[in-house]
Chains A and B, each alone.
Chain A
Amino acid sequence: EVQLVESGGGLVQPGGSLRLSCAASGFPFDDYAMHWVRQVPGKGLEWVSGLSWNSGIIDYADSVKGRFTISRDNAKNALYLQMNNLRPADMARYFCAKGTTSLFGVFDIWGQGTMLTVS
């Protein structure tokens, strides 16, 4: 079964740090770009960051650039998001999403998300 499972969310104080993880299974993880997308409860979707299959291309939303770092470990089928200097505006549910063979395309598989509370 194709699956993405996020973990690592929780409560953090403003200015704090947290690392999110996403465990992938059921597909050749190292063939695809991967992304983080977030959603404030009751609001819309916001793309946060993405990286290509080999981490050769990495991109961030302006709102997180310089504070968040995306990475992946293809040997472990894992995606990460290191979040530093967190702000109340970062409070959201963070979804891991599978992309295509190029950096940007559709997001065809999503995890259930992990909630970040900044307070």
Chain B
Amino acid sequence: EIVLTQSPGTLSLSPGERATLSCRASQSFSASLAWYQQKPGQAPRLLIYDPSNRATGVPARFSGSASGTDFTLTISSLEPEDFAVYYCQHGRTFGQGTKVDIK
């Protein structure tokens, strides 16, 4: 079974800064990888899938990319509402999450 390893565990940044989140898969696969955002007390929200398509209503500052088994979620300029936990997912597997908090 594929293992997804996210890094870093926590990313401390200021509004306006660029955030780069990593998700590394234990083996290559051809199907989709997705990214989700979760805020405290809320359900996860689909952000990015396949691995660079934005879900409906997701701002253009969010982008996804892939290189082999390495996947990246980039937030070009952090807005206050972007401070949250982000998960990658493939099939039945989720990464352990990266928390983006305010520096």
Contact = CB atoms under 8 A, between A and B. Distances in A.
- Sorted from nearest, which 4 A-B pairs have the closest CB atoms? A110-B43, A106-B34, A45-B94, A47-B92
Interface in B64-103: 87, 89, 91-97
B89 A106 contact: yes
Given A104-B92, A113-B43, 7 more contacts: A105-B32, A106-B34, A106-B46, A106-B49, A106-B89, A112-B42, A112-B43
B31 interface: yes
Question: Interface residue tally of chain B, by bracket?
Answer: 20 to 34
B45 interface: yes
B16 interface: no
B97 A107 contact: no
30 contacts: A44-B94, A44-B95, A45-B87, A45-B94, A46-B94, A47-B92, A47-B94, A50-B92, A59-B92, A61-B92, A95-B43, A95-B44, A104-B31, A104-B91, A104-B92, A105-B32, A106-B32, A106-B34, A106-B46, A106-B49, A106-B50, A107-B44, A107-B46, A107-B89, A108-B46, A108-B55, A109-B46, A110-B43, A110-B44, A110-B45
A111 interface: yes
Interface of B: 31-32, 34, 36, 38, 42-46, 49-50, 55, 87, 89, 91-97
The main secondary structure of chain B at its interface with chain A is: loop
A113 B44 CA distance: 10
